[in-house]
Amino acid sequence: MIKRTLCFSHPAYLSLRNGQLVVKLDPHDDEPERQATVPVEDIGVVVLDHRQITLTHGAMAALVENNAAVVTCNDSHMPVGLLLPLEGHTVQSERFQDQIGASLPLRKQLWQQTVQQKIRNQAALLDELHGIETGNMTAWAAEVRSGDSTNLEGRAAAFYWSRMFPTLPDFTRSREGAYPNALLNYGYAILRAVIARALTGSGLLPTLGIHHHNRYNAYCLADDVMEPYRPYVDRLVVQTMAECRDVTVTTAIKQRLLTVPTLEVRIGGQRSPLMVAASQTTASLARCFAGESRRIAYPEM
């Protein structure tokens, strides 16, 4: 079953009753007060995007116990916080030990696979959207070495971003950069929450990455695993730009970007919602750490 993504951008009171998330929305724009209920077990992601939202402790505990990711936003309406369960798997301690004990050669091989699939997906998207010849990217993907020691990820990224937005020839990918960077940031934040949720569900520690290792980053592994999924967000941003001419992250644009968890991807020869595919990816990663497999299952565009 596909878990639901809920976004609250107006004053609201969220509580728990009989296993249901009770949503009470304050009146706004001359609308009367509204109330609705959603089974907690059906929720995958909750986005809190207003200062006047109250989330009771009972509701918060129920959400994390059901492995829902709770995302908080700042005054600029960008995600800045993520709440996940401490225990997401029955043999979590065993999974932690496998992950911590993973050898450096294994981690480098897993990062090699990750970069290869990311570049392949970027190449496929450039061809799909703009008909650009990407034989060079396909060659780079094949040439990625263990640990990506020659940084072909960076070389591919430079080629990719210089051609992703033909109507914006001066575009530079940067978190603080000009339009449409804010749209990409928002979409990636939702993707990161989905991946982090899947990691905890597979009993893995999102902090301990296979490549990323920033001491101030609590989600290094999520940042690693999400890389091959980024082009799906990029495609959604391009589609959103064609439909919405706003250059800021408006409510309409956020609603489009919040569909990230339900985007259709192809993994293992089957089509699947992104949120379901993410769990397949993290489960395969757990098997790699346990020595049961040597390959991560990633989606292919």
Backbone phi and psi for residue 293, each to the nearest 5 degrees, phi listed first: -155, 165
Tell me what the pLDDT averaged over the chain comes to.
92
Q: pLDDT confidence of 196, banded at 50, 70, 90?
A: very high
Kindly tell me if the per-residue pLDDT of 86 is higher than 80: no
pLDDT tens-place string over residues 144-157: 999 999 999 999 99
Structure tokens at 28: 């706004």
CATH superfamily, region 4-83: CRISPR-associated endonuclease Cas1, N-terminal domain (3.100.10.20)
Kindly tell me if the per-residue pLDDT of 236 is higher than 70: yes
Contact assessment for residue 138 and residue 160, using Cβ atoms and an 8 Å cutoff: no
Kindly tell me if the per-residue pLDDT of 216 is higher than 80: no
Helical axes 274-289 vs 104-130, angle rounded to 10° = 160
Q: pLDDT confidence of 89, banded at 50, 70, 90?
A: low
Q: pLDDT confidence of 249, banded at 50, 70, 90?
A: confident
**Which of 190, 187, 183 minimizes the C-alpha distance to 165?**
183
Backbone phi and psi for residue 227, each to the nearest 5 degrees, phi listed first: -55, -50
Kindly tell me if the per-residue pLDDT of 218 is higher than 90: no
**Cα–Cα distance measured from residue 191 to residue 161, given in angstroms and rounded to the nearest whole number:** 19
Q: Give the model's pLDDT for residue 214.
A: 81
Q: Where are the domains of the chain?
A: 4-83, 92-289
For range 169-190, the mean pLDDT: 93
For range 87-92, the mean pLDDT: 67
29 or 150: which leads in pLDDT: 150
Q: Give the model's pLDDT for residue 32.
A: 64
Q: Give the model's pLDDT for residue 217.
A: 84
Dihedral of alpha carbons 113, 233, 183, 179, sign: positive
Q: What is the second-level CATH architecture of the domain 92-289?
A: Up-down Bundle (1.20)
**Cα–Cα distance measured from residue 184 to residue 37, given in angstroms and rounded to the nearest whole number:** 31
Contact assessment for residue 71 and residue 28, using Cβ atoms and an 8 Å cutoff: no
For range 87-109, the mean pLDDT: 87
